[in-house]
């Protein structure tokens, strides 16, 4: 991959992660960024993710081969006017927004289609801000690319190459199809999660016992209810038609479920769970996909200082290298489950045996 000069507008979770990932892939990329808060830029300069902090959208952007728009979707669209004067004739403007129709239509209205290729990495988190960004966020995730009719084919190939350099899987889609798809698999689930959380908040007992005993089921399905309200407000506003349509279908589906429960229709209830289980289990485990397999184990640990260090020491004493280690938060006992990743199957199996012998409770994901 050739050395590129790349600009970022917005350097939060996604912008920060892509900047870090691109730097990891090629230290010679020259990265400049503008963010609203100077502290973000200072942090990115200090950790080496960017080479230059910009004071605004200005003539420095004329040095860029690529500019990544990484703010909430409506703001991305608003930035087009400010960026246009500084977009070199051969430069590409791309974005990471969760909705594509609004920006594609704005780009077409402004006659910028030859300089634009839409993008959307299908990875993220409920956390916002640069402090949560990392260089591997989009690894193994699909990176949707939505060219315009005038996007130069060689630049589309180059952007695919950038996605691959992040260890993501580039996937070309039409922008309208993209918005239909994400309404179902991303936007609707966020609305379900947030309304469910708010329902439980309203229905809780005076002692808040629902909140107290809420376990894995509730936490797994509602993690994303902690996502950024501004980001989701803008997603819902810009993908309104698709979302209201699939939301209507979902409400109808829920009505059928209610009828089945109310009628005691055991067959219908069985079929609901049977069909969903089969489809859910058929969703491919991307960690076993074309890029690389993940060798990881999960281990219950007690919440006391030194608990992680003890495990790391046991593994190190047996020459087992750890690729990644960290507490994960989408299981029942948030502070108690440690995920440890290894470089290969052998190390992973050896670690499972070893930690089991040491009486740790280990869950193996082969
Ligand atoms: N969070 C996810 O899971 C996820 C995943 C894929 C794509 N996206 C998309 O990525 C984009 C960024 O989301 P994020 O999760 O990184 O959010 P974030 O809140 O972590 O970061 C947003 C960045 O934009 C900046 N910003 C916000 N308003 C701005 C404005 N008016 N002018 C300049 N900068 C502004 C913020 O300061 C921050 O640097 C969004 O378009 C979102 O739809 C998010
Ligand atoms: O994992 C999460 O927390 C996410 O919500 C990531 C997620 C999603 O899967 O819905 C969120 C928004 C995106 O545009 C893409 C990915």
* Residue whose CA lies nearest to ligand 1 atom number 9: 97
| Pair 93, 116: CB distance under 8 Å | yes
Multiple choice CATH, 5-173, 3.40.50.2300, 3.40.640.10, 3.40.50.150, 3.40.50.720: 3.40.50.720
The complex scores an ipTM of: 0.98
| Per-position DSSP letters for 88-133, written without gaps between them | -TT-EEEE--S--HHHHHHHHHTT-GGGEEEEEES---S--SGGG-
Question: How, if at all, do strands 116-121 and 142-147 pair?
Answer: antiparallel
How confident is the model at residue 1, as a pLDDT? Answer: 75
Q: What pLDDT score was predicted for residue 332?
A: 45
Domain boundaries 294-365, corresponding CATH code:
3.30.70.260
Residue 264 makes CB contacts below 8 A (sequence gap 6+) with none
The two domains 5-173 and 178-281 share their CATH topology (first three levels equal): no
Domain ranges of the chain: 5-173, 178-281, 294-365
pLDDT at 305: 80
Is ligand 2 within 6 A of the CB of residue 228? no
Minimal-distance CA residue to ligand 1 atom 40:
72
> Is the minimum distance from the CB of 16 to ligand 1 under 6 angstroms?
no
* Domain 178-281 in this protein, CATH class: mainly alpha
Q: Identify the pLDDT of residue 289.
A: 36
Q: What is the pLDDT of residue 366?
A: 45
Task: Give the CA distances from residue 44 to residues 12, 52, 53, 135, 314, in Å, rounded to whole numbers and listed in that order.
Answer: 10, 9, 9, 12, 34
121 within ligand 2 shell (Cβ under 6 A): no
Question: In angstroms, what is the span from residue 75 Cα to ligand 1's centroid?
Answer: 9
Give the pLDDT confidence of 239-266 residue by residue, as tens digits.
999 999 999 999 999 999 999 999 999 9
Beta strands in the chain (DSSP E): 5-9, 30-34, 52-53, 66-69, 92-95, 116-121, 142-147, 169-172, 295-300, 322-327, 337-342, 362-365
Residues of the chain with pLDDT under 70: 286-294, 329-336, 365-366
Give the atom of ligand 2 at the shortest distance from the alpha carbon of 185: 10
């Amino acid at each position: 991959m050739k050395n590129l000069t790349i600009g970022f507008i917005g350097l939060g979770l996604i912008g920060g992660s892509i900047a870090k990932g691109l730097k990891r892939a090629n230290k010679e990329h020259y990265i400049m960024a503008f963010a609203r808060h100077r502290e973000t830029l200072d942090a990115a300069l200090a950790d080496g993710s960017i080479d230059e902090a910009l004071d605004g959208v200005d003539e420095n952007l004329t040095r860029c081969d690529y500019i990544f728009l990484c703010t909430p979707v409506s703001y991305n669209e608003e930035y087009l006017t400010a960026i246009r004067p500084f977009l070199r004739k051969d430069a590409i403007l791309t974005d990471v927004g969760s909705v594509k129709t609004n920006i594609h239509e704005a780009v077409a209205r402004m006659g910028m289609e030859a300089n634009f290729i839409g993008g959307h990495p299908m990875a993220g988190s409920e956390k916002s801000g640069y402090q949560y960004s990392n260089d591997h966020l989009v690894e193994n995730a699909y990176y949707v690319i939505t060219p315009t009719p005038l996007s130069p084919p060689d630049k589309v190939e180059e952007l695919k190459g950038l996605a691959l350099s992040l260890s993501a899987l580039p996937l070309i889609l039409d922008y309208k199809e993209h918005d239909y798809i994400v309404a179902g698999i991303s936007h609707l689930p966020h609305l379900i999660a947030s309304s469910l959380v708010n329902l439980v908040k309203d229905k809780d007992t005076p002692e808040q016992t629902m909140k107290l005993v809420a376990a894995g089921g509730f936490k797994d399905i509602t993690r994303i209810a902690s996502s950024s309200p501004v980001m989701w407000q803008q997603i819902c506003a810009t993908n309104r038609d698709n979302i209201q349509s699939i939301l209507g279908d979902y409400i109808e589906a829920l009505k059928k479920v209610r009828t089945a429960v109310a009628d005691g229709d055991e067959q219908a209830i069985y079929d609901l769970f049977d069909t969903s289980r089969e489809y859910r289990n058929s969703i491919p485990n991307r960690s076993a996909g074309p890029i690389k397999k993940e060798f990881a184990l999960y281990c219950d640990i007690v919440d006391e200082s030194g608990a992680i260090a003890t495990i790391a020491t046991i593994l190190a004493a047996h020459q087992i290298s750890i690729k990644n280690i960290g507490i994960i938060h989408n299981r029942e006992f948030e502070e108690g489950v440690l995920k440890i990743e290894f470089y290969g199957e052998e190390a992973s199996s050896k670690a499972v045996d070893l930690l089991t012998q040491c009486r740790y409770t280990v869950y193996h994901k082969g």
